[in-house]
Amino acid sequence: MKTSQGDRFFRAQGPGFAVALLSSVVLFGAIGYHFIEGWSIWRAFYVTVLAITTVDLPPLSRPAQAFTIVLLIAGVGSALYTFTLLATMVVEGGLPKRLQKRRQERMLETIKDHFIICGYGRIGSIVAQEFRRQAVAHVVIERDPDRAHVALEDGALAVEADASREDVLKRVGVERARGLVAAMGTDAENVYAVLSARLMHPDLFIIGRAETEDATIKLKRAGADRVISPYMIGAVQIAQTALRPAVVDFVQLATSSENFELAMEEITIGVGSPLAEKSIVAANLRQRYGVIVVGIQRQNGKMEFNPDPDAVMRPGDKLVVLGRPDSLRRLESEAAAAHAG
């Protein structure tokens, strides 16, 4: 929609001009009544305000009535101009933007156990979409203003900044974060972001996106726990789908957040959990929860696939289990719980 020249002039003057204009009219009216009617400055000011606001006036002489006509034309016009401009500023950007910014800053100060997504391109936006679907707290850092705006419109908590800067990572709560996903457009940006995050939070779980094999090596050296190559994963997925479509369909079904009948989840055995130091058969997981233990990742990172029933679950181990979502939640609660008393 095109903007007229008058509208552009109206917006260009700003609130200072509007307030000055209204103040000048009030001053002009007070001085005029003071000399025409011989009133005190206070009464002259009082009557001026009554005239501008079109309230009933006291009896006036003929010269004062003529002056009131001029004052009303100038005063009502300037008052409408001032109030309209101020209301426009509040509605179209001033107040809502300030309130939104203040709300966002409060959320950034209190958010914890969240993921930080560096970059909101094709990969980062899909990651954020999946996090939203699974109700996982996350913050987006995007340097491009347009992409940052899109992230906000998508409902994400987003910051327009450089993700490789330590002050930015501190602002989004990297010390309280659960993990970081470096999914920016270039390998160099991802390496810097991973390095900065690792220095600030040594225990942070970091995933880096790599375009080349050389970048994969550098990201691991910078501190990434996992390095993902979208092109490599896409190619492997295509090959696996061509060779084993039923297996691929099953894995997608088990890992999809939209599936309410079957889910595959990672459950950590906590210190003091009733399940700690028990074998799978002794814990009776299959009968009590109706879940299948697909694998156990030990604290040293070694993965045991299809573990024996006598395999012992130790604190810090991660169980890869398959079952109904409600059963998995109950198992996760017991795995994290400590002994009472």
Longest CA span, the chain: 108
- With a CB cutoff of 8 Å and minimum separation 6, the contacts of 85 are 10, 11, 13, 14, 15, 18
Q: Give Cα separations from 33 to 65, 186, 340 (angstroms).
A: 10, 71, 84
Average pLDDT of every residue of the chain: 83
Look at residue 102 and give its three-state secondary structure: helix
pLDDT band at 265 (very low <50, low <70, confident <90, very high): confident
Residue 305 pLDDT greater than 50, yes or no: yes
- Between CA 208 and CA 210 the distance in angstroms is 6
Taking the C-alpha atoms of residue 78 and residue 124, their distance in angstroms, rounded to an integer, is 50
According to DSSP, residue 339 is labeled P
Backbone angles phi, psi at 159, to 5 degrees: -130, 130
Least confident of 4-13, 110-119, 208-217, 319-328: 4-13
Tokens representing 193?
Answer: 């972001």
Cα 175 versus chain centre, distance = 17
Q: Is-contact 323 291, C-beta < 8 A?
A: yes
Q: What are phi and psi of 156, to 5 degrees?
A: -90, 155
Q: How far is CA 77 from CA 66, 107, 189, in A?
A: 17, 43, 55
The SS3 of residue 212 is coil
Domains (ranges, CATH) in the chain?
10-92 (1.10.287.70), 111-234 (3.40.50.720), 245-336 (3.30.70.1450)
| 187 CB neighbour count, 10 Å cutoff | 19
What is the C-alpha to C-alpha distance for residues 174 and 146, in angstroms, rounded to an integer? 24
Identify the three-state secondary structure at position 295: strand
- For the residues 278-302, what does the mean pLDDT come to? 90
Residue 317 three-state SS: coil
> H-helix or E-strand containing 323?
strand 318-323
Local confidence band at 145 (pLDDT 50, 70, 90 cut-offs): very high
Dist. CA 168–CA 265, nearest whole Å: 32
Q: What is the mean pLDDT of residues 226-249?
A: 87
Compute the residue count for the chain: 341
Q: Are β-strands 138-142 and 157-160 bridged in parallel, bridged antiparallel, or unpaired?
A: parallel
Task: Please calculate the CA angle 179-182-183 and round it to the nearest 5 degrees.
Answer: 130
- Digit-coded pLDDT (tens) for 194-230: 999 999 999 999 999 998 889 999 999 999 999 999 8
- Reading the block at residue 74, the tokens are 């100038």
**Mean pLDDT, range 318-341, rounded to an integer:** 80
3-state secondary structure 78-115: HHHHHHHHHHHHHHHCHHHHHHHHHHHHHHHHHCCCCE
Q: Is the dihedral of CA 77, 79, 80, 86 positive or negative?
A: positive
d(CA 334, CA 154): 35
H helix or E strand, kind and range, residue 235: helix 230-243
Residue 292 DSSP one-character state: E
Which one has a higher pLDDT value, 70 or 109? 109
Q: How far is CA 301 from the centre of its chain?
A: 32
